[in-house]
């Protein structure tokens, strides 16, 4: 794996290998993994806000012995008018081994691959509403840890599907893993026209017999500034609570990529309840990113 810009570039076998690698890393001592990649370096270039993706990439690098620099874009020369291309070419001249990039424009990481050639790896940490492949992989890994298979699973994804790069990568990943059924539910205006999933007509049918329930926030940053949303109505019709969750299987797991908007797409009781694996997703974010970076640097 030279680059990771889209989860669709991975085979089922490659994803299963990453699960195995993440499990091996989880069982390893950090003082051991810190010895794996001396002299390697990464630059994290985040043009959009992040808490868990940026922090987990930084920790993943540090725990593999990879020197990591996170450029503070707000204080960088992009504020003086430097283009993203010049910024990337400038940083690439410093010879990092990996770029980890988040950008609001769809497919921006593909452009970066074209600009810098094959010497430096590029990891997509989220491009617009298009892809968030490392989130998709950590989500798949979390499901795998609980269910150990995909072929008999009903996975339901609820909320703002249309603007969610998390949903795109997860749906693509679930298809690669040959998941039995992927169901989406949300307001029609928040469901894309072309989607590789079944669309439910109401919350109860969306949740019925689900093995995995994934809740998504409204991606306000991708909506027109004057787009009005009634959050109370959203919660009433598309929010997960302890009552409607009963339609899912008793051992269903509840996931959310974060950041959560408690009281809108999910109640406190569910987010903090015994079926929630949300913090496990965060923990797996570090492990899966270690597995990805390790794979890239091994080649
Ligand atoms: N899931 C996710 O991408 O979260 P952050 O925006 O905090 O990185």
Q: pLDDT digit string (tens) for 43-97? A: 999 999 999 999 999 999 999 999 999 998 988 899 999 999 999 999 999 999 9
**pLDDT(213) > 80:** yes
> In this structure, what token pair is assigned to residue 184?
């989406």
* Mean pLDDT of the residues in the chain: 97
Distance in Å, CA 56 to ligand 1 centroid:
10
Could you count the other beta carbons within 10 Å of the beta carbon of residue 295?
A: 16
CA 258 to ligand 1: nearest atom: 1
Nearest atom within ligand 1 for CA of residue 54? 8
**pLDDT for the residue numbered 188:** 95
Q: pLDDT digits over 190-209, tens only? A: 999 988 899 999 999 999 99
Which pLDDT belongs to residue 74? 85
> How much is the pLDDT for 61?
98
Give the pLDDT of residue 100: 98
Q: Which atom of ligand 1 is nearest to the CA of 135?
A: 1
Query: How do strand 41-46 and strand 67-71 relate by DSSP bridges?
Result: parallel
Ligand 1 geometric centre to CA of 94 (Å): 27
CB of 56 closer than 6 angstroms to any ligand 1 atom: no
What is the 123 CA–ligand 1 centroid distance (Å)? 15
The answer to whether residues 291 and 21 touch, using CB atoms and an 8 Å cutoff, is: yes
Q: Please name the residues in contact with 274: beta carbons below 8 A apart, sequence gap of 6 or more.
A: none
d(CA 239, CA 236): 6
267 lines ligand 1 (CB under 6 A): no
Rounded distance from Cα 261 to ligand 1 centre (Å)? 13
At 181, the pLDDT band (50, 70, 90 cuts) reads: very high
């Amino acid at each position: 794996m030279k680059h990771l810009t889209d989860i669709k570039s991975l085979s089922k076998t490659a994803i299963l290998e990453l699960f195995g690698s993440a499990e091996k890393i989880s069982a390893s001592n950090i003082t051991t993994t810190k010895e794996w990649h001396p002299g390697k370096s990464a630059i994290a270039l985040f043009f959009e806000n992040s808490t868990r993706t940026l922090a987990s990439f930084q920790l993943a690098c540090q725990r593999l012995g990879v020197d990591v620099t996170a450029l503070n874009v707000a204080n960088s020369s992009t504020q003086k008018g430097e283009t993203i291309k010049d910024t990337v070419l400038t940083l690439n001249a410093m010879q990092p081994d990996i770029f980890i990039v988040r950008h609001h424009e769809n497919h921006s990481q593909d452009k970066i691959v074209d600009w810098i050639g094959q010497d430096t790896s590029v990891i997509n940490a989220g491009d617009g509403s298009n892809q968030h492949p490392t989130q998709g992989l950590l989500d798949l890994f979390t499901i795998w840890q609980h269910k150990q298979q995909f072929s008999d699973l009903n996975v339901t994804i609820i909320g703002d599907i249309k603007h969610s790069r998390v949903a795109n990568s997860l749906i693509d990943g679930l298809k690669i893993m040959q998941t039995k059924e992927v169901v989406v539910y949300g307001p029609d205006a928040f469901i894309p026209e072309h989607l590789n999933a079944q669309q439910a007509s109401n919350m109860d049918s969306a949740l019925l017999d689900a093995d995995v329930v994934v809740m998504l926030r409204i991606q306000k940053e991708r909506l027109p500034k004057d787009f009005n949303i009634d959050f109370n109505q959203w919660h009433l019709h598309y929010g997960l609570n302890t009552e409607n969750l009963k339609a899912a299987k008793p051992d269903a797991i509840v996931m959310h990529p974060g950041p959560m908007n408690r009281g809108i797409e999910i109640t406190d009781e569910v987010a903090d309840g015994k079926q929630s694996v949300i913090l496990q997703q965060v923990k797996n974010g570090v492990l899966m990113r270690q597995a990805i970076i390790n794979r890239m640097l091994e080649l």
